[in-house]
Structure 1
Amino acid sequence: MRIFLFLISFFLISCSPVHNNVQEKATSVADNSEFLMAYPDGQIPQNGLSLTDALQKAKALLSSNKSVKLTLTSGTYYLTKPIMLGPEFSGTKEQPFIISAEEKGKVTLSAAKLLDLNWQPHNQLMKAQLTVENIDQLYINGKKQIRARYPNFDASVQVFNGYAADAISLERIATWKNPVGGFVHALHEGRWGGMHYQIEGVDEKGELKLNGGFQNNRYSPLHKKYRYVENIFEELDAPGEWYFDKDTLTLYFYPPQGMDLANSQIEISQLDQIIVLQGDSTNPVKHINIQGITFTQTKQTFMKTNEPLLRSDWAIYRGGAILMDGTENISVTNNTFYNLGGNAIFVSNYNRHANIASNEIFDIGASAISFVGSATAVRSPSFEYHEFVEIADMDMELGPKNENYPSKSIATDNLIFDIGQVEKQVAGVQLSMSSDITVSHNSIYRVPRAGINVSEGTWGGHILEYNDVFETVLETGDHGAFNSWGRDRFWHPTRPEMDKLAKTHPDLYKADVLSPIIIRNNRFQCDHGWDIDLDDGSSNYKIYNNVALSGGLKLREGFNRTVENNIILNNSFHPHVWFENSDDTFRHNIILASHKPILNNFWGNEIDKNFFTTEQALLKAQKLGLDSNSKFGDPLFIAPENGNYQVSEESLALTVGFKNFPMDQFGVKSEHLKRKAEKPEFPNLYLNNNDAANSNEMDLFGATFKSVTTLGEQSALGIPEIAGALIINIVPNGKAALGGLKKGDVILRVIDSEFGGADKIIAISDLLTSYRSRKWRGHLEVVIMRNQKEQHLEINLLD
């Protein structure tokens, strides 16, 4: 049978895009197949169908067991409502329902609306009357504009692109005529993600009435420094900023010099989601492939991010440009997601065999790819850090209660960067209340928090391999390129109670983490935390064949973690507060600094047969009763300047059991994505502290240091002994300069106000060691000598 069937776009909308005209096509296919063409509104051929009729026709074809392929012709499709694909749109394994672009990169599904405005001057601004009641995001000629804010947007500022301690001061609030509808954005007080508030008014004290803060699952006041305010008319003071007055339905815009607004394309976001695949475990949406399409211009959803994810630090909004909820065998491949206000792809509740592959995701407000199950599947769930179900009341059965969670799915070969541009508790790939998810060959970088995050142990079985994750934790702190929590049933927020549980119920962690979580063959880098951070009870992990470029590896609490055959550069192993019966193992690893234990009196099953680069670091470990069979020396990396940290055949590291593994398989695989993907900077290695000590100079946090080594230097600097790290050069507006350091200052001590104590700085090698062990906190407290007087300064490592 030959079919000539033309299908208009998925959408009932006003659209007049410029696109390549495609002639009507006749399709010669197998008897059981139908080939449908979709056209943007305004370009529909004579025999085209309306959206309603076309979807009814497609549904009828699928219900009659036809194989349907829908091809979208070039252009921009503006939606007035999301595309809803229920079980009636399901294909089969042999004949999936395919939705694809005729030419990749030429088809855009937009959640925005085109406006035709009559602009009028208003002082240095321009204004226009609208008929819509709200504007979430404004695009002019395809470029996102900045909602009026204080401080003004500055791309060179790392945190929030601009922050100010006085953003909501009484003095500033007093200058606002009507701030209702404005927003306050801030980091958590501990920099554990971000929080957002809507302004509901001003009280009798002149302070803002705020609603929000629920985006972080660990309650906190606003950070006193890292905050900004937006959507306030009086803050409309910079080119490219805009403000919408909901009372008068007036849009105000400050045009950059030379912009011709009368001949510009104006778009506003109006939808949270673009495609929703909605079924359930008893009647799922099955076998749909979505490929080659660009998704863009969804609304910001930070005020909808209010569902807590058990006892993790996360809250989530179950939505995205694509939402998959109740599906089987759905493929989302070779698409582009950019300029989104919230999440890109959200796999929610019951899902099996989802395939998220070879997509490019960038410039988005929240997370890239999320697999998040339902708390109804969790036995005895707790929903905040301090909550706990008493053992007497706890469901002690193993595993999930029902099937309402993602499992047996994959996220592979995705290029993810510049995400979390609004929300800060986000990840490139997020796993929560799910099992058996493979995360492989993704390149993830420039993210405000983790590149890959596992929120809790339910229910394990994940494989994380061949990912390239770097430039992470850029705006927050106390986190990692890979981060996990394990606040499962066995975990208690009070440490003595948890110690009792660990002894009386030592295998309870296995009730949630049913199978090991495997982290292998990845490259991780985090300058403001750990490269691999297993926090708060993370249990049942196998970690091997990874390269950690910067932040080292941390294991806190938890059980049964085996860490072997990893390379940890310019850092080391951070064991934090282990259980007496943790059964942890750390062996056959190459580490370039001494172990960094904190409040740790127990050492697990085995810490031995590792390779250090200094005798000093090895002896320090052996004084703790560890590493009796470990060795030290130069590991003889083959080409570290090119990122090849395999060791030569002569390396002593091979004699303690270390084995080489591939160094050229990290990150995306598709050729078109490999051409676009960036790579991390490979660090200058300090193979031992003597390298720093013997070096004339060392660069660190925006300054160049040298050791104080002569009596003349001591006398000239007015210091009590020949010791310290002297600043001989400093980068203007770098971290050191912003922290108050100046050329000629000498760092004498690095202090620890949280845990007490201080590191005395004799040489620049001591400063390097102290920095390595403390940089995860996001700041460094130092005592300096300046003009023969000691001063206490704090260097912010985030900015």
Structure 2
Amino acid sequence: MKSFFLAGFMLASVSLFATNIYVSPSGNDAADASVSAPKATLSAALRDARNLRRLQKVAKDEAIHIILKGGTYFQYEPVFVRPEDNGTESSPTIIEAAAGELPVLSGGMKVTGWQKQGKFWVADVPDFNGIRLNFRQLWVNGAKAVRARDVADFTKMNTILKNDKKHQTLWVPASAVRTIAKAPHAELVIHQMWGVANLRIKSIIFHGDSAGVKFHNPESRIQFEHPWPSPTVGKPFNNSAFYLTNAIQLLDQPGEWFYDQDNGKLYYMPRPGEDMRKAEAIVPAIETLVNVEGTLEKPVQYITFKGIAFNHTTWTRPSEKGHVPLQAGMYLLEGYKLRPAGVPGNENKGIENQAWVGRPVAAVALLNTSKINFEGCRFEHLGSCALDVVRGSQSTTVEGCLFRDIAGNGLQIGSFSEEALESHLPYDPADIRVLCSGQNIKNNYITDVTNEDWGCVGIAAGFVRNINIEHNEINEVSYSGISVGWGWTKSVNAMRNNRIFANYIHHYAKHMYDVAGIYTLSVQTKSTISENVVDSIYSPSYAHDPKHWFYLYTDEGSSFITMKDNWTPSEKYLKNANGPGNTWENNGPQVSDSIKTRAGLEPKYLYLKKL
């Protein structure tokens, strides 16, 4: 091999070697990037690689290896990978961990200087890059702490009494909110069918044993106008449960924290044995760690991330504008019921509501790319989605990766309706380059995701085609394991040739119902869901309809999908408002044990469960 400082050799003499660019947390971006004088940041290393290619100092069959030594790389902005960083099929750029080491790209900031104050530890949160931080997560010694809330056990959540849409008021037991009546920035998180909404409390009025809670905008308008998912009150459903958070009055359990943003002070109640003078406390500061973004005419291509950890991201929108999702974490920008139903055009003649959605942020985002690979990477301790293949991306491979402790979706892939496209419309763009196609999501271990935004899923795929989701294990998710499709439409659209094969999904629906291990929407011509295993569903007592859960679920408009040889403990499936062409063959407990044995991680990747 040759290191960066040898890059000046003639091309003929270097074609047998790889170019290595070294990076270390203790490096210097002015260094020459050799093993003994590494760069300090991935951004600087990418610039060096870019210059090597620009100056034609890399042979056509020579890979560039950007080798990150172990340790934490704290970032103040996302790394931007652009078309000028492109590799080729014979000369890729590989961003990889040094042998036996774990480099961590972190969007967090350490909080130090803790002082004991009674039962709390208190620290000043310094400004980040010149501004006061706003954050919703804290990790202490690598473990996620709990944002102070009124219940330690979710089965003990209070439930609403009335949903007053006209006056945009939720009526709740007065005893539930009395302690936080004067808290300046308290939030109410409400369970509603297949999603939760984060609502910033504006005011509380007391009337006997009841209290009326009003909220800030825009979430107040959205919450009380949109029809689905909605709070439930009265039979046959359970009343919607809720919990309160973000008030110092709620800080009463070990492992809980509260951030007084107005005064920049962080309060923490330690777990047994924790000494905050010695502990590592990290709060998230940036939302995205890596943006891989090209254009349709010039996509980013032939970049591989190998053995890299992506940690400690934030998502501040719920603290600034609330969060009222439609489904799979896609948040409503506007939504309302149509009276009378229907709009002009065959597709929408019977539609009874309209909705427009935005997309939550991700730690790593791909836009207009080709042949981008993630191998053996770790996505952990993240404040929203982990990996987002947004649009215009072809042939992405995500294999052998760990997704753990993630607030929202593990992966989200493809269009979920652009902000200007009404969510129930079919998506079939004239320029097919904008589609996400040929994604290969294989042998990943996805666990403890959706742990804040309960309506999210392990793998969320929207309008995609030729996607292969294979041999993944997904567990400890709040809602569904794998969701494929979008649009609630029986019209032909961009989706086709999707394959969901040999995945193992268990311990799902931890908090939400109207749920399945594998869930589909809309027309997906020549798509196959086969040889998967779905087992061990949770039974949350506060689910809106305790009977409304399923192992497999083809929802509105699902068409031309083959369901075959999937093992489930019973044939508890739902086929709701499906279109034509679906085939169900040999699904249930009678499926061969060999299929059950093969599902999930292949032997080579079982080590992921021990990390």
Matching residue of 2:532: 522
**Unpaired runs of 5+ in structure 1?**
8-27, 389-394, 487-511, 570-589, 591-643, 647-660, 679-799
Q: Is the 8 A contact 2:189 2:198 kept in 1?
A: yes
Query: Could you tell me which residue of structure 1 aligns to residue 500 of structure 2?
Result: 464
Q: Counterparts of 2:214 and 2:562 in 1: how far apart (Å)?
A: 49
Distance 1:540 1:125, change over 3 A: same
Deviations 1:730-760 (A, max 9, x none): xxxxxxxxxxxxxxxxxxxxxxxxxxxxxxx
Q: Please point out which of 370, 373, 398 is paired with 2:412.
A: 370
C-alpha displacement of 1:136:
2.7
CA separation in 2, counterparts of 1:324 and 1:422?
A: 23
Paired residues for 1:314-713 under 5 Å: 317-373=359-415, 375=417, 382-383=422-423, 399-403=428-432, 404-456=434-486, 458-486=494-522, 513=524, 515-525=525-535, 527=537, 529-550=549-570, 552-569=572-589, 645=592, 662-673=595-606, 676=609
Tell me by how many angstroms 1:264 deviates. 1.9
**1:91 equivalenced with 2:87 (yes/no):** yes
| 1:715-794 aligned within 5 A | none
Q: CA deviation at 1:85?
A: 0.7
Change (3 A) 1:550 1:313: farther
Pick closer, same or farther for the CA change 1:268–1:362 going to 2, 3 Å: same
**1:70-149 pair list within 5 angstroms:** 70-103=66-99, 106-117=102-113, 119-132=114-127, 133=132, 134-149=134-149
Residue in 2 that maps onto 1:500: none
Alignment equivalent of 1:277, drawn from 275, 284, 292: 292
Q: Answer whether contact 1:302 1:422 (CA < 8 A) is retained.
A: no
Q: Alpha-carbon deviation of 1:164?
A: 2.5
Q: Aligned partner of 2:230: which letter? A: S
> Cα distance, 1:335 vs. partner?
0.8
3-state SS of paired residue (1:471): strand
1:288 partner SS: strand
On the 8 A contact 1:203/1:209 being kept in 2, the answer is no
Structure 2 spans left out of the alignment, 5+ residues = 8-12, 161-170, 234-238, 324-328, 336-352, 487-492, 540-548
Counterpart residue number, 1:297? 312
- Residue identity matched to 1:537: G
Letter in structure 2 aligned against 1:481: G
| C-alpha distance 313-104 of structure 1, shift in aligned 2 (>3 A) | farther
User: 1: distance between equivalents of 2:298 and 2:290?
Assistant: 18
Q: Is the 8 A contact 2:194 2:229 kept in 1?
A: no
Alpha-carbon spacing, 1:222–1:372, altered in 2? closer, same or farther (3 Å): farther
What is the RMSD of the two structures over their aligned residues, measured on CA atoms?
3.4
Match of 1:259, SS?
coil
Q: Secondary structure at the match of 1:430?
A: strand
Classify the secondary structure of the residue corresponding to 2:288: coil
Aligned CA distance change for structure 1 residues 59 and 220 (closer, same or farther; 3 Å): same
Which SS does the other structure have where 2:50 is aligned?
Answer: helix
Letter in 1 for 2:503: N
Give the whole-Å Cα distance in 1 for the aligned partners of 2:158 and 2:282: 30
**Secondary structure at the residue paired with 2:87?**
coil
Alignment of 1:188-199 (within 5 A): 188=192, 191-199=193-201
Asked if the contact 2:435/2:464 (under 8 Å) is kept, the reply is yes
Partner residue, 2:54: 63
TM-score norm. by structure 1 comes to: 0.60
- How far is 1:420 from its partner? 0.7
For 1:218, the aligned partner's letter is: W
Matched, 1:34 2:54: no
Is 1:164 equivalent to 2:168 in the alignment?
no
**Cα drift, residue 464 of structure 1:** 0.8
Q: Distance in 2 between matches of 1:203 and 1:96?
A: 62
Separation in structure 1 between the aligned mates of residue 300 and residue 380 of structure 2, nearest angstrom: 26
Q: How many residues align?
A: 523
Query: Does the CA-based 8 Å contact 2:120-2:269 persist in structure 1?
Result: yes
Amino acid aligned to 1:437: I
**Residues 348 and 53 of structure 1: is their aligned pair in 2 closer, same or farther, counting only changes over 3 Å?**
closer
Which aligned pairs between 1:223-234 and structure 2 lie closer than 5 A?
A: 224-234=239-249
What percent identity do the matched residue pairs reach?
21
How far, CA to CA, are the matches of 1:141 and 1:221 in structure 2? 37
**CA distance in 2 between partners of 1:439 and 1:433 (Å):** 14
**Inter-CA distance 283–241: structure 2 relative to 1 (3 Å threshold):** same
The verdict on how the C-alpha distance between 1:426 and 1:464 changes in structure 2, with shifts beyond 3 A counting, is: same
Q: In 1, distance between residues paired with 2:118 and 2:419?
A: 58
Q: Which of 199-208 and 276-285 deviates more? A: 199-208
**TM-aligned CA deviation for residue 32 of structure 1:** 7.1
CA contact (8 A) 2:402 2:608 kept: no
Structure of higher CA gyration radius: 1
CA deviation after TM superposition for structure 1 residue 465, in Å: 0.8
Moved more, 463-472 or 546-555: 546-555
Distance 1:179 1:203 in 2: 13
1:481-515 Cα deviation digits (max 9, x unpaired): 111222xxxxxxxxxxxxxxxxxxxxxxxxx64x3
